[in-house]
Structure 1
Amino acid sequence: MKRGTMTGGRQRLAQQVIDELRRQIDVGKLKEGDQLPTEPQLEASFGVSRTVVREAIADLRAAGYVRPIQGKGVFVSDPKASQRFSLTPVEIRTIPETLELLEFRLATECEAAAIAAYRRTAEQEAVIAAANKKMAQLIDDGKPTVEADFEFHMAIAAATNNRFYLDVMRQFGPRAIPRSQFTTLPEAANKAYLLGVHEEHVEIATAIADQDPERARQAMRKHIIASQRRYRRLAEQ
């Protein structure tokens, strides 16, 4: 495979990685509980960039094929297990609105993260970190995380020092976090999934702390696109 230089090319390469890993899982070459090769190993094996590998893993995770375990790696899970649920009629009707909201968030929050990276004060940086630390503690305690997740995104909006970003987030409230609307989804309380979300938050917060606007923008983009993929699949189902 050749490395993609455009977004469309990168997506095609990511899909090739996804298709091959799913094939290996489906035929039993990779079994439930097996650890996936490391990112550098996958890069070498497929001849693609780290970005492509991460996008592929995010997609597989959203589909329930793999799960990250903090400090250990990414492991094969049972995709059928994550599909053993039924959405309520209200949740089904909410899917289109959720996709629209995520599309809007993609257009606004990526730029908010970039602006926060060069405008944030030390105090605002601390608030972002505190919100993320709170979410990590709630995950460990097995308690609901939606409010803390929303606080993290609110803290970034506040760190732009542009009241309009903050006003928009306030208008949405915690429903901006999609899983708040889909309580029957397995990942709503799945520790491995939530730890993956938290790790994405860490990437965003670190980029903001490092005052790296482009890295913050891309980290937020990766975070929101992962949600888009999940809810697009629900729409297809």
Structure 2
Amino acid sequence: MSHRFQSITPGVHLSEQVAEALSAEIRAGRPAAGDKLPTEAALVEQFAVSRTVVREAVSRLKSLGLVESRQGSGVFVKRAAFAPLNFDTRSAASMQAVIQMVEVRRALEAEVAALAAQRRTADDVKRIRQAMAALDKAVKAGGDGADEDVNYHRAIADAAQNPFLISTLDYLRQFLRGVTRVTRANEARRADFAGQVREEHEAITQAIEAGDSLQARQAAARHMDNAIRRIEQADPAFWQQEGVQLASALLSDALRH
């Protein structure tokens, strides 16, 4: 990989950003199965991050079955240890595909929120609140807050303290990022939608803070149900916007890989 990787945004979860950048290259065949990853030192220089961040990122790739270590030789790309999810790509850029992916999120996020309510620490709650504040700031600055939304839900997943759930969400993130950009773009068009999302996030966070797993599960499921409702209310012109078409294309590309 002689070209430059995508830039990394300073802040939390640097290892996740590095892992996603490397994963995108691997899934695009750069490098291909059997090829060796750049050395740790080279990745540190490329991404301008610490060795610890690179090691954590590579560890994530290993957990996803994308790479493997060979003693004395380095880290090499391999085929995924499990079969990729079999999504129907014929409607990948359509409203129905986005709704289907939100349904997948609903099944996972509800349980993640319930576990987070049971297991959260004071530091977990602080990180969740910080992620909410970052999302509010992004929205007030005129952005759609898609990346910040992903970080918010990732903070909740971290609080659930289940590495298998986290790995599953990491794998799905290649699909969910495009979906989140579509849903956030739609919600950013209307002040009432944006306000609803803020209230739904607050309800989830309050339930987690209170240690109420039932309320947390219900609040997370309700958040996803409402996201589907808001997508269904989007007018046809919304789907023709350049940014939405790009996000849908990214989802389509991820589904094909």
Please tell me the TM-score bracket, short chain as reference: 0.5 to 0.7
Contact 2:92 2:98 in 1 (8 A): no
In the alignment, structure 1 residue 161 sits paired with structure 2 residue 155: no
Find the counterpart in structure 1 of residue 121 from structure 2.
121
Check 1:119–1:112 CA distance in 2 against 1; reply closer, same or farther (3 A cut).
Answer: same
Q: Write the mapping of 1:203-214 to structure 2, written as runs, cut at 5 A.
A: 203-214=203-214
**Which secondary structure does the structure 2 equivalent of 1:93 belong to?**
coil
CA deviation after TM superposition for structure 1 residue 164, in Å: 1.8
Q: Distance in 1 between matches of 2:111 and 2:135?
A: 23
Find the counterpart in structure 1 of residue 240 from structure 2.
none
Contact 2:117 2:213 in 1 (8 A): yes
Q: Distance in 1 between matches of 2:118 and 2:183?
A: 35
Check 1:107–1:182 CA distance in 2 against 1; reply closer, same or farther (3 A cut).
Answer: closer
CA deviation after TM superposition for structure 1 residue 108, in Å: 1.4
Find the counterpart in structure 2 of residue 195 from structure 1.
195
Contact 2:144 2:184 in 1 (8 A): no
Gaps of 5+ in 1: 1-89
Q: Distance in 2 between matches of 1:176 and 1:107?
A: 13
Q: Write the mapping of 1:79-118 to structure 2, written as runs, cut at 5 A.
A: 93-118=93-118
| Aligned residue-pair number | 147
Find the counterpart in structure 2 of residue 13 from structure 1.
none
Identity value in percent: 28
In the alignment, structure 1 residue 228 sits paired with structure 2 residue 233: no
Contact 2:150 2:180 in 1 (8 A): no
Check 1:175–1:199 CA distance in 2 against 1; reply closer, same or farther (3 A cut).
Answer: farther
Check 1:168–1:236 CA distance in 2 against 1; reply closer, same or farther (3 A cut).
Answer: farther
Q: Distance in 2 between matches of 1:114 and 1:183?
A: 24
Gaps of 5+ in 2: 1-89, 238-257
Contact 2:144 2:185 in 1 (8 A): no
**Which secondary structure does the structure 1 equivalent of 2:150 belong to?**
helix
What TM-score comes out, normalization by structure 1 length?
Answer: 0.54
Which amino acid counterpart does residue 204 of structure 1 have in structure 2?
I
Q: Distance in 1 between matches of 2:157 and 2:167?
A: 9
User: Which 4+ stretches in 1 moved above 6 angstroms?
Assistant: none
Q: Distance in 1 between matches of 2:188 and 2:103?
A: 21
1:169-225 per-position Cα deviation (integer Å, ceiling 9, x unaligned): 22233752635136874x334444223211110110010011010111111111000
Q: Distance in 2 between matches of 1:203 and 1:211?
A: 12
CA deviation after TM superposition for structure 1 residue 163, in Å: 1.0
Contact 2:91 2:97 in 1 (8 A): no
Check 1:164–1:201 CA distance in 2 against 1; reply closer, same or farther (3 A cut).
Answer: same
